[in-house]
Amino acid sequence: MNLPPRKTAFSPEDYLAWEREQTLKHEYVDGEVFAMGGASDAHVTTTGNLFAMLHAHLRGGPCRTYMADMKLGIEAANSFFYPDILVSCDARDRAPEASHVKRHPRLVVEVPSPSTEAYDRGNKFAAYRKVESLQEYVLVSPAERRIDTFRRDTTGHWVLYPVATGEELELTSVELRVPVELVFEGVEAEPGADNAQPAT
């Protein structure tokens, strides 16, 4: 997704108040608001598979798994996003005042379409890297049956760990290992993209 020149700027407070009244989801990037489009079957199935595995794995512990409708607020980037999946193990994200916005995720997963992949790898990842609690950022490609995990090392650098069909996905941030085939179980190849467009 290429961001257009800024038009009408929202403050973060204005955005949060406005967004509560909307029937569609909108992401907020440094004053601009972008409507989120619908998702494909492959996107929804892939996201659902990984969410189910994370939810079952983390059940009963301090970590919570959220899918699609939970906002992630990044103060350092003046932005709010709706990650496909986020996992937070921070008590601050379980407080009543955090019921609609999480700010301390350990893991974030995005399932980009062909039209949004460059943005998810570029500007969005740059914003996510400003989240101090984030340990892993995962990009899952149903079309290519490929998963790229970016993991923060002990020096603060992000290292890429790619896996594909026949291999195992390892998420060290939540101590989960699963075959890549299970992430894409039931996913049919299909064209299409779930674009984000600037709100009017």
Say which residue the tokens 């996905």 belong to.
Answer: 169
* CA–CA distance, 138 with 151 (Å, rounded to integer): 9
Q: What is the mean pLDDT of the chain?
A: 90
- Could you report the per-residue pLDDT of 140-167, keeping only the tens digit for each? 999 999 999 999 999 999 999 999 999 9
DSSP string, 131-184: -TT--EEEEEETTTTEEEEEEE-TTS-EEEEEEETTSEEEETTTTEEEEHHHHT
pLDDT of residue 116: 85
Contact 195, 37 (CB under 8 A): yes
pLDDT beyond 90 at 121: yes
Domain boundaries, the chain: 39-70+81-187
pTM, two decimals, is 0.86
Task: Report the b/e string of 67-77 with b at 16+ CB within 10 A.
Answer: bbebbbbbeeb
Contact 71, 81 (CB under 8 A): yes
pLDDT of residue 1: 37
Q: In sequence order, which residues have a C-beta less than 8 Å from that of residue 119 and are 6 or more positions away? A: 1, 2, 3, 112
- Could you report the per-residue pLDDT of 39-60, keeping only the tens digit for each? 899 999 999 999 999 999 999 9
CATH superfamily label, 39-70+81-187: tt1808, chain A (3.90.1570.10)
| β-pair partners for 164 | 146
Grade residue 6 by pLDDT with cuts at 50, 70 and 90.
very low
Grade residue 190 by pLDDT with cuts at 50, 70 and 90.
low
